Amino acid sequence: MKAHVARFRFALGACARRAGRTASMMVGLAFITALFAAVVFLTDALRHEARLGIGELPDLMVQRTVAGRPALLDAAHVSSLTAMRGVRSVTPRVWGYLYVPSLEANLTVVALSVSPDASLALEGRLPRDAEDVVVGQALAERLGLRIGDEVALPAAERYQLVRVVGLFRSATALRTADVVLAREPLARALLGVPDGAYTDLAVALSVADEAPVVANRAAALFPGARVLQRSLLERTHALTFDARGGMLSVLLLPALAALLLLAWDRLTGLGEVERREIGILKAVGWQTREVLEVRVYEQLVVALTGASLGVALAYFYVFWLGAPGMAGALFGWSALYPELQLTPSVDASAPLSVLAAVVLPYVAVGLVPALHAALLDPLDAQRGRT
């Protein structure tokens, strides 16, 4: 053990003697690792946020299409579905998008269909009266709205006066930035949805595992219907963020390859001083294995320092600064953009995999040059012959 520690200390000294090369490699690795880790942290955090709400989704969601276009459902669909075996309840929902020219943005208008204890999610209260609405923080900031204010929104037929009785908390901005929550009659007026018509149906099943069976039966019952299962929605969330994160990671691969190529070039070119050093070590009795060990320690010190620094920088960039620049490129420029208040998912696999993706290739590209150096003949090495 003492011998290994001594060789590790010798490797540290060797790194210090080649300060310029060591520092430049550390900085290069830190930069590349930070880029990779930032993408991983961002996608991981957003996937985690999206997953948190999935448990409360209905087992099935039924939409209707006519001529391949989305269409409204009516009471007949509700009663047919309710009568289906295995269906516990059917909740008709009214929601949609409302374009506001003054904001040049779409609002997501949702009719309140349940009344849970919402104090965790909003300040104020849920809509009770006909004109009451709860709005998201980004929308409230754009319109300068506070609780108690009234504002006219451009409804389908005419401007509709609404009163703000609640604001979604800023911690929910990622989900509610553009949301207007209203009672059903007001939502219908804003969206132009006639009475008795619904945007989609939320279906709760007696046994959640029967979802594929009931989905097939519902699809057979309503030709042209789209039946969405909760498990498929989870998959879409995962796909959305994985695909975008993966695309950016692929774009960064050439940068990693370029750095490894540079490392290979630097490490294969043994300097005069290094050659003499190896020659002296072997002349005083060091074995090839021991020289190789020292070279691997050198690679590990450089790679671990650079990669750890990169992961820490990426964490600071994403979770303290909100990933300026990268977040927009990954997740879109919407008109009502929520302030990214991301929470890291406590899962060591992401930073560890980034560390491994950078450290292992770096150490690997250094192995062959290290073996080459370790196999040098002591006399040749001291005479400057390779």
Residues in region 177-236 near other proteins by CB under 8 A? 177-179, 181, 200, 202, 226, 228, 232-233, 236
How do beta strands 159-168 and 132-135 pair?
parallel
**Burial class of 151 by CB neighbour count within 10 A (0 to 12, 13 to 18, 19+):** middle
Q: Is 56 in the site for other proteins (CB under 8 A)?
A: yes
Q: How far, in Å, are 116, 134, 150, 186, 195 from residue 161 at the CA level?
A: 25, 13, 7, 10, 20
Minimum CB separation of residue 93 from other proteins in Å reads 5
Q: Which of 1, 2, 5, 104 binds other proteins (CB under 8 A)?
A: 104
Q: With respect to other proteins, which residue has the nearer C-beta, 106 or 288?
A: 106
Minimum CB separation of residue 315 from other proteins in Å reads 4
Q: Is 346 in the site for other proteins (CB under 8 A)?
A: yes
Q: Do residues 211 and 160 make contact, with C-beta atoms less than 8 angstroms apart?
A: no
Q: Do residues 222 and 85 make contact, with C-beta atoms less than 8 angstroms apart?
A: no
Q: Is 5 in the site for other proteins (CB under 8 A)?
A: no
- Segment contacting other proteins (CB under 8 A): 98-106, 206-214, 258-266, 356-364? 98-106
Q: Is 360 in the site for other proteins (CB under 8 A)?
A: no
What whole-number distance in Å separates Cα of residue 316 and Cα of residue 326?
14
Q: Which of 93, 142, 275, 295 binds other proteins (CB under 8 A)?
A: 93
DSSP bridge pairs for 132: 163
Q: Which of 40, 50, 140, 162 binds other proteins (CB under 8 A)?
A: 50
Q: Is 338 in the site for other proteins (CB under 8 A)?
A: yes
Q: With respect to other proteins, which residue has the nearer C-beta, 71 or 151?
A: 71
Interface residues for other proteins in 265-324 (CB under 8 A)?
301-302, 304-306, 308-309, 311-312, 315-316, 319
Q: Is 120 in the site for other proteins (CB under 8 A)?
A: yes
Minimum CB separation of residue 110 from other proteins in Å reads 5
When computed from its CA atoms, the radius of gyration of the chain, rounded to whole angstroms, is: 31
Q: How far, in Å, are 69, 70, 86, 208, 250 from residue 225 at the CA level?
A: 11, 9, 19, 20, 37
Helix (H, G, I), strand (E, B) or coil at 154: strand
Q: Which of 38, 62, 110, 205 binds other proteins (CB under 8 A)?
A: 110
Return the DSSP state at 18: T
Nearest to 221 by CA among 247, 201, 197, 207: 201
